[in-house]
Structure 1
């Protein structure tokens, strides 16, 4: 939401001056920002879709393949239990992959954009 109010001025209690609304829009429309968004989306969207499909597979197998999901793997541990634990493992694995991706690809680009915006303010 755009506003006509001017951004706050720098001061000892307020921190650095904020860029203008026009500057935010200019950066948002830049090729560098588009590359940052592309780097984020090309990682996040496919993994999100893959995880949702993996989760739906688990739910569908639980509902419609009870015999398979009830198959004992070891002692009282069945396929459904293994798949359930795999859901947790997958969640943590995706979070770890994303943290590595963000640190290597997203954070440097975002920091460069942020530094330039703060220097121009």
Structure 2
């Protein structure tokens, strides 16, 4: 065991970054983007599940050939997932990552 005094929290660069106005702004920006998008996707997902359980006749209705509403909506779940992923990646590249990089540089570089 070492007899050295533990580093003061005030001297920790990570704590300083977390307490900065820029970090709080970045966290708020991230949450304002991610939380609504997550809520929207979860609502869409649970709608699909609820329709599958409670609206079997609707989900079994054929649109054309052997393609039903259930199959179509199920495949749209995948499309939605990919679209959200691409949308987030573009947003992160354009908005979030540059701001995070600027903050990291201001606080002393990458760790």
Report the TM-score when normalising by structure 2. 0.86
Q: Distance in 1 between matches of 2:75 and 2:91?
A: 24
* Unaligned residue ranges in structure 1 (runs of 5+): 6-19
Q: Tell whether the 8 Å contact from 1:39 to 1:105 is kept in structure 2 after alignment.
A: no
Q: Distance in 2 between matches of 1:100 and 1:72?
A: 36
Tell me the secondary structure at the aligned position of residue 118 of structure 1: coil
What's the Cα RMSD here? 1.9
Q: Distance in 1 between matches of 2:25 and 2:64?
A: 48
Aligned counterpart, 2:99? 109
Q: Deviations over 1:23-45 (max 9, x none)?
A: 21111111110111011100100
- Specify which of 36, 60, 63 is matched with residue 70 of structure 1: 60
Q: Distance in 1 between matches of 2:92 and 2:23?
A: 15
Aligned counterpart, 1:13? none
Please state if 1:50 is matched with 2:40. yes
Report the TM-score when normalising by structure 1. 0.79
Between the two proteins, the alignment pairs up a number of residues equal to: 104
